[in-house]
């Protein structure tokens, strides 16, 4: 009486392997499109206060603080970029879960000056709309809603090659590191930094188009409705 549903290409392959012989339907995660809230100007002001100047590039990470999300890798790469004089900052939205206090506290000594932990916020959309790139350095993932929201906002992703990220973050959408190592993720960040603005704008539009076609809530609803009525 239960119909299993997988939420991404990578998850679907894993599910078919794990539950051999079970009929599994794939319906990709969907999300509502990102829109500015009444707090948009407040978020813009908060980010501008953190920027060195008007030319500072803003990276955003939306994730709980946990081992899975691998923030240590992100912090190590940002420290290197700070030492090399890159005019960028990373804003991290999210808090640690109960039991992860030690992990969070161990991260703090590693935090360079260009990384800012802002904790939980109610208006994530406003921060996305004020960012230049979406960063995710996880060691495993399903299909994170935060990535879909970033695509809908036209924010270019720079991610590690895990879970459903592999199937979404192609060279036409964003930047995927070769693996989850420090050198590979740093190379992906530098590739984004070195990309001309015109090409970045095309990646932004490609991401919006992909979101609308495959990952909007409207698309998700249609597929689930078809499944329920089949």
Encoded tokens for 203: 């990646």
Proportion of the chain above pLDDT 70, given as a percent: 100
**What is the pLDDT, as a whole number, of residue 52?**
95
pLDDT of residue 11: 84
Nearest to 160 by CA among 96, 34, 69: 69
Per-residue pLDDT for 176 more than 80? yes
* Torsion 149-154-159-164 (CA) sign: positive
Q: Read off the tokens for 75.
A: 């912090």
Q: What is the reported pLDDT for 22?
A: 92
Report whether pLDDT(83) > 80: yes
User: Is the model's pLDDT at 9 over the cut of 90?
Assistant: no
The band of 103, judged by pLDDT with boundaries at 50, 70 and 90, is confident
Residue 38 has pLDDT above 90, yes or no: yes
Q: Give dist(CA 155, CA 205) in Å, integer.
A: 9
Of 28-37, 93-102, 113-122, 143-152, which range is least confident? 93-102
108-146 tens-digit pLDDT: 888 999 999 999 999 999 999 999 999 999 999 888 899
109's tokens: 């000594």
Residue 99 has pLDDT above 80, yes or no: no
Mean pLDDT of 57-81: 95
């Amino acid at each position: 009486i239960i119909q299993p549903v997988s939420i991404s290409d990578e998850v679907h392959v894993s599910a078919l392997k794990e539950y051999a012989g079970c009929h599994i339907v794939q319906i990709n995660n969907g999300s509502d499109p990102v829109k500015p809230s009444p707090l948009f100007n407040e978020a813009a002001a908060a980010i501008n206060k953190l920027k060195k100047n008007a030319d500072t590039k803003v990276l955003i990470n939306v994730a709980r603080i946990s081992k899975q999300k691998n923030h240590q890798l992100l912090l190590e790469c940002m420290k290197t970029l700070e030492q090399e004089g890159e005019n960028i900052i990373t804003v991290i939205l999210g808090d640690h879960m109960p039991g992860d206090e030690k992990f969070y506290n161990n991260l703090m000594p590693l935090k360079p000056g260009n990384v800012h932990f802002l904790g939980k916020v109610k208006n994530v959309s406003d921060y996305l709309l004020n960012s230049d790139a979406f960063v995710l350095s996880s060691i495993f993932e399903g299909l994170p809603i935060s990535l879909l929201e970033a695509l809908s906002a036209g924010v270019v992703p720079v991610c590690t090659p895990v879970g459903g990220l592999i199937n979404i973050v192609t060279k036409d959408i964003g930047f995927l590191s070769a693996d989850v190592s420090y050198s590979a993720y740093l190379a992906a960040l530098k590739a984004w930094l070195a990309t001309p603005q015109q090409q970045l704008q095309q990646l932004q539009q490609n991401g919006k188009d992909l979101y609308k076609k495959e990952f909007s809530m409207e698309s998700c609803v249609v597929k689930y409705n078809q499944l329920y009525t089949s």
